[in-house]
């Protein structure tokens, strides 16, 4: 919106050959790097300026966190803290993206739409928890059904409205990175790819949701992962960098860089209020939306496999839950009594029960997340 206003003002006033300082100053608006920086700043400022008011409104509406019985006393002390603060993240991202991005990008609207859909699933889950005063909202199958529907819609839009390449781009291998992406789209490739899209979107959204269990944990890791994804999105949309680094060139993904930058600013602004001791929790409306955004951007930029490195901590948290459940079922079947592999899952609860204080766990997980982000960027020179 702001982009189009300034763009029209520049060329209606000065045309394309203006030489004045004012013209050159405003002309910078056409560069995606400039608009990404300002989308980040705008989202951050919106979060900081309106965060207190949002928290007060949530408290006035009695939208407060319920705590599962099996969690530690440290967590039960947080009962009653305002939740559903993810609406602040989503609002900041949407406003700053609409202000600074070109709105003629289908990929941008796909990212915004998928993020909204996953956010709505989380919203209804949080709403049921609050209205019925219980720690569990939607059933597992209800969540999965909503996520499946969203994944199918994303696939359908890519199949019918874009020339999306239905092959895989795998880190470390030149052959997959420089293969011919101009081949015609056919259902022979697209239909099997649907299952891959479902796996990526459901995996990423639920992984972030499982990580959101400590003050500042999910927001901090989101900031780091989205910062790395912003860089990767820009590189994949730029022909020069894509050719040099042998990655899939996706020029239509340029405006996604603005969206990623907005997510970076929004998560950092939310962290101001979510840092321990948290004044607000993001709730499922925030965590599912963030996970959906990460997965969608990875799909649109052909970085699905690299998402394992970008969101390494999210993956570890999700895998710890799968190990815990799988080991419990296996030991119950073989010995008659289920046993736990970890003291408690997800993994951050295991360390908490082991005696680590919550801030130490969060800081150490953040360090690991930074290492994963650097690893994901390093793969660009290993193809």
Q: What are phi and psi of 67, to 5 degrees?
A: -115, 135
How confident is the model at residue 181, as a pLDDT?
44
Q: Is the N-terminal amide bond of 277 cis, ω within 30° of 0?
A: yes
User: Quick check: 348 and 361 in contact, CB under 8 A?
Assistant: yes
User: Quick check: 212 and 206 in contact, CB under 8 A?
Assistant: no
User: Quick check: 134 and 285 in contact, CB under 8 A?
Assistant: no
Burial status of residue 354 (CB atoms within 10 A of its CB: 0-12, 13-18, 19 or more): exposed
| Nearest alpha-carbon partner for 153 in 123, 184, 119, 111 | 111
User: Quick check: 95 and 253 in contact, CB under 8 A?
Assistant: no
**pLDDT for 146-162, tens place per residue?**
999 999 999 999 999 98
Whole-number Å distance between alpha carbons of 282 and 93: 14
Burial status of residue 187 (CB atoms within 10 A of its CB: 0-12, 13-18, 19 or more): exposed
Whole-angstrom CA distances from 371 to 49, 309, 344, 363, 377 are 31, 9, 25, 13, 10
Whole-number Å distance between alpha carbons of 287 and 290: 5
| Nearest alpha-carbon partner for 74 in 360, 299, 371, 318 | 360
**pLDDT for 268-302, tens place per residue?**
999 999 998 899 999 999 999 999 999 999 999 98
3 state SS of 82? strand
Whole-number Å distance between alpha carbons of 298 and 310: 10
| Nearest alpha-carbon partner for 312 in 360, 376, 261, 259 | 376
- Which residue has 């709105």 as its token pair? 103
Indicate left, alpha or beta for 15 from its phi (over 0: left) and psi (-120 to 50: alpha): left
Give the pTM: 0.90
Q: What are phi and psi of 281, to 5 degrees?
A: -105, 150
- Which residue has 């496999």 as its token pair? 305
User: Quick check: 298 and 73 in contact, CB under 8 A?
Assistant: no
DSSP codes joined into one string, 249-296 = --GGGTTHHHHHHHHHHHHHHHHHHHSSSPS---HHHHHHHHHHHHHH
Query: What is the overall mean pLDDT for the chain?
Result: 86
- Residue 62: DSSP 8-state: T
pLDDT by position in tens, the chain (length 383): 665 565 555 555 555 555 555 455 566 778 899 999 999 999 999 999 999 999 999 999 888 776 655 555 555 566 778 999 999 999 999 999 999 999 989 999 999 999 999 999 999 999 888 867 666 678 888 899 999 999 999 999 999 998 888 877 777 665 444 444 444 446 777 889 999 999 999 999 999 999 998 999 999 999 999 999 999 999 989 888 887 777 777 888 899 999 999 999 999 999 999 998 899 999 999 999 999 999 999 999 988 989 999 999 999 999 999 999 999 999 998 888 889 999 998 999 999 999 899 999 999 999 999 999 999 988 887 66
User: Quick check: 161 and 106 in contact, CB under 8 A?
Assistant: yes
Biggest CA–CA distance in the chain, Å, is: 81
User: Quick check: 220 and 268 in contact, CB under 8 A?
Assistant: no
Burial status of residue 259 (CB atoms within 10 A of its CB: 0-12, 13-18, 19 or more): buried
């Amino acid at each position: 919106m702001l982009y189009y206003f300034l763009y029209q003002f520049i060329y209606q006033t000065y045309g394309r050959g203006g030489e004045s300082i004012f013209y050159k100053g405003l002309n910078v608006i056409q560069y995606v790097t400039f608009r990404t920086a300002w989308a980040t700043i705008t989202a951050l400022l919106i979060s900081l300026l309106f965060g207190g008011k949002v928290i007060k409104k949530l408290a006035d509406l009695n939208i407060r966190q319920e705590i599962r019985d099996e969690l530690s006393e440290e967590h039960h002390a947080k009962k009653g803290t305002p939740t559903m603060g993810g609406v602040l993240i989503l609002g900041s991202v949407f406003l700053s993206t609409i202000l600074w991005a070109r709105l003629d990008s289908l990929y941008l609207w796909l990212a915004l739409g998928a993020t909204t859909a996953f956010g709505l699933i989380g919203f209804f889950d949080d709403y049921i928890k609050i209205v019925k005063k219980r720690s569990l909202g939607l059933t597992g199958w209800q969540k999965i059904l909503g996520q499946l529907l969203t994944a199918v819609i994303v696939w359908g839009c890519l199949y019918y409205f874009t020339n999306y390449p239905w092959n895989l781009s795998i880190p470390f291998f030149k052959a997959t990175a420089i293969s011919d992406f101009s081949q015609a789209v056919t259902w022979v490739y697209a239909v099997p790819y649907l299952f891959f899209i479902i796996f990526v979107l459901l995996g990423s959204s639920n992984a972030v949701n499982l990580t959101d269990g400590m003050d500042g944990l999910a927001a901090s890791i989101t900031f780091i992962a989205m910062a790395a994804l912003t860089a990767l999105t820009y590189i994949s949309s730029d022909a020069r960098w894509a050719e040099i680094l042998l990655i899939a060139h996706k020029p239509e993904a340029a405006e996604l860089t603005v969206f990623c930058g907005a997510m970076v600013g929004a998560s950092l602004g939310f962290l101001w209020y979510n840092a321990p001791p948290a004044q607000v929790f993001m709730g499922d409306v925030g965590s599912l939306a963030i996970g959906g955004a990460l997965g969608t951007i990875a799909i649109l930029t052909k970085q699905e496999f690299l998402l394992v490195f970008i969101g390494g901590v999210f993956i570890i948290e999700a895998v710890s839950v799968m190990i815990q459940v799988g080991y419990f079922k296996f030991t119950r079947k073989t010995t008659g009594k289920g046993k736990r592999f970890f003291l408690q899952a997800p993994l951050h609860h295991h360390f908490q029960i082991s005696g680590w204080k919550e801030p130490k766990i969060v800081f150490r997980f953040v360090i690991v997340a930074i290492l994963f982000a650097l690893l994901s960027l390093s793969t660009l020179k290993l193809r």
